[in-house]
Amino acid sequence: MSQGCDKEAACVTSPPHLQWERRRAKAAFFGRLGGVSTGPYSSLNLSSAVGDQPRQVAENWSRVRGTLSRQGELALLQQVHGATVWPITRNSAREKLRGDAMVANEAGVALGILTADCVPVLMLDADAGVIGALHSGWRGTLANIAHAGVDAMVNLGARPARIEVAIGPAIGKCCYEVDARLGAQVVAVAPPDARAISGGRPGKAMLDLPAVVGAQLVAAGVAPEAITTAGRCTRCASMLYFSRRAAGGGITGLQLSFIELVE
């Protein structure tokens, strides 16, 4: 994983924040720096559904598109925190389907996920030429969208044991306080070795979503050593990343994670 910038105070441009360099794929995690949006959307907000000005969102998109290959067609979803996975082709890339994960096996198809604390996951089986992208917040984690994403890649010819994964910047266990009841629900569905929660204040628990998602991927057949975790806690590093928690649950922009299969 190569860093575009790791000095948060000094870094004002140079997106993407992190690039995942792999054979047959272009993949990157953007943060919030390097765009033109202002206020809570400052500055590289890429969502047109959070109240930002369309002209500024469009300018931000023009800045990140250069990271794709020239023929790259980027698919985005109407993300709904479910567990629906879509196979995407060049023909369907612009449909903006309702769901939270995508897989593809066609060069030039890029899969994009927008987040602000949820766990973005990029996946690649370079031998099979199959990619996947998903996001897993607490709802998606309860629904085990990570496992569904691996299964959908297998349907396109991937083998779990060959899949490499990059888990991107997400809220960490340091900051993700949830009701103890929700913590218990996640523990109930998480793989036994996931270390899903740690203690919190009375009635609360600190949830480690990236760890649970990683354990779900391993339970789906991905090798533990094939999983890379990149970036910092979005809330702790809210100068670098959009974080809904850092915004007090209020208005914020969304950052892009994407993977594209290349020839």
- Closest contact distance (angstroms) between CB of 174 and Zn ion is 4
Q: Which is nearer to Zn ion, 171 or 218 (CB)?
A: 171
- φ and ψ at 142, to 5 degrees? -60, -35
Q: Which is nearer to Zn ion, 60 or 252 (CB)?
A: 252
210/223 Cα distance (integer angstroms): 16
Size of the site for Zn ion (CB under 5 A): 6
Residue among 157, 162, 148 at smallest CA distance from 216: 148
Taking residues 190 to 219 in sequence order and writing x for each that binds Zn ion by CB under 5 A, - otherwise, the string is ------------------------------
| 3-class secondary-structure state, position 152 | helix
Q: Which is nearer to Zn ion, 120 or 172 (CB)?
A: 172
Which segment (13-21, 81-89, 174-182, 243-251) binds Zn ion by CB under 5 A?
A: 174-182
- Closest contact distance (angstroms) between CB of 169 and Zn ion is 11
Residues 228-257 binding Zn ion (CB under 5 A) are 233, 235-236
Question: C-alpha angle 146/176/40, rounded to 5°?
Answer: 95
Q: Which is nearer to Zn ion, 147 or 245 (CB)?
A: 245
CA quadruple 135, 1, 233, 251: dihedral, nearest 10:
-60
- Closest contact distance (angstroms) between CB of 32 and Zn ion is 16
188/210 Cα distance (integer angstroms): 16
Which segment (52-60, 177-185, 225-233, 247-255) binds Zn ion by CB under 5 A?
A: 225-233
Taking residues 89 to 118 in sequence order and writing x for each that binds Zn ion by CB under 5 A, - otherwise, the string is ------------------------------
Question: C-alpha angle 99/245/252, rounded to 5°?
Answer: 65
Applying CB under 5 A, does 174 fall inside the site for Zn ion? yes
Q: Which is nearer to Zn ion, 142 or 207 (CB)?
A: 207
Region class of 152: left (phi > 0), else alpha (psi between -120 and 50), else beta: alpha
122 DSSP β-pair partners: 133, 166
Q: Which residues of this chain interact with Zn ion, rule CB under 5 A?
A: 172, 174-175, 233, 235-236
